[in-house]
Amino acid sequence: MKFGVVVFPGAYCDRDCYYAIQTVTGQPVEFIWHRETSLDGFDALVLPGGFSYGDYLRAGAIAKFSPVMRAVREFADRGGLVIGICNGFQVLTESGLLPGALLKNAGTKYVCRYLHLRSETSATPFTSAVEGGQLLSIPIGHGDGNYQADEDTLRRLEDGDRIVFRYVDAGGAATAEANPNGSARNIAGIVNEGRNVLGMMPHPDRSFERILGSDDGRLIFESMVMALSA
């Protein structure tokens, strides 16, 4: 089982992801440069956070034209596991691998803090180790995390059990106050129709050891290992 962390110029959570996967899963992990065109031998990919290509034009917009993204798309089409975290989520929506778009935070501010996520479904390879409805403490750090899509798309996500995480308060309620960025329906993470591509704004790669404030992020990497071992 081999994990790959895609490295775009301007990404800066690549090493966090590498270290998180190595520490949590004990599985081999390699960096993949954005000019790479083959992903042979990999079982799961991470698109890490940061500011790929400076986020010029739009967050994630230039990364979608990088050579590696063509290979990522083929990898995803074949059913390979892809998780996009923060900027990685933005790359996935820009590339059309996930629906919708991530806009500037409604409050205009960059928000960097721990918050509560409610896991909405265990029926994904990224959350099988998480109970439906379980609250997770995982931090965010972004300026463009306001998830928006048209009503049809939101309904499809809802009906298809594809909303994976929501921003909630400490009691687990998805209130407007608990929404850090204005996202439609408090959405923090979604999967594609095939359920093998996850995009999430919060950082499991910053919350996998107690010393970081929470180790809830482990559950996501552990779920991936479970899915790949099955």
Give contact residues for another protein (rule: CB under 8 A): 57-58, 61, 65, 93-94, 99-101, 103-108, 146, 148-150, 182
Burial 126-160 (b: 16+ CB within 10 A, else e): bbbbbeeebbbbbbbbbbbbbbbbeeeebeebeee
Least gap, CB of 93 to another protein (angstroms): 8
Least gap, CB of 167 to another protein (angstroms): 17
Burial category of 4 from C-beta neighbours within 10 Å (exposed 0-12, middle 13-18, buried 19 and up): buried
Q: What share of the chain is helix, strand, coil (3-state, %, to 5)?
A: 30, 25, 45
Task: State the distance between the two ends of the chain, measured CA to CA, in whole angstroms.
Answer: 12
| Nearer residue to another protein within complex by CB, 57 or 173 | 57
Residue 44 has which token pair? 């799961």
| Nearer residue to another protein within complex by CB, 108 or 229 | 108
| Nearer residue to another protein within complex by CB, 100 or 189 | 100
Q: Which residue has the tokens 């004990």?
A: 26
Least gap, CB of 190 to another protein (angstroms): 14
Contact 44, 3 (CB under 8 A): yes
| Nearer residue to another protein within complex by CB, 40 or 151 | 151
| Nearer residue to another protein within complex by CB, 4 or 143 | 143
Least gap, CB of 98 to another protein (angstroms): 11
CB contact set of 15 (below 8 Å; sequence gap of 6+): none
Least gap, CB of 24 to another protein (angstroms): 33
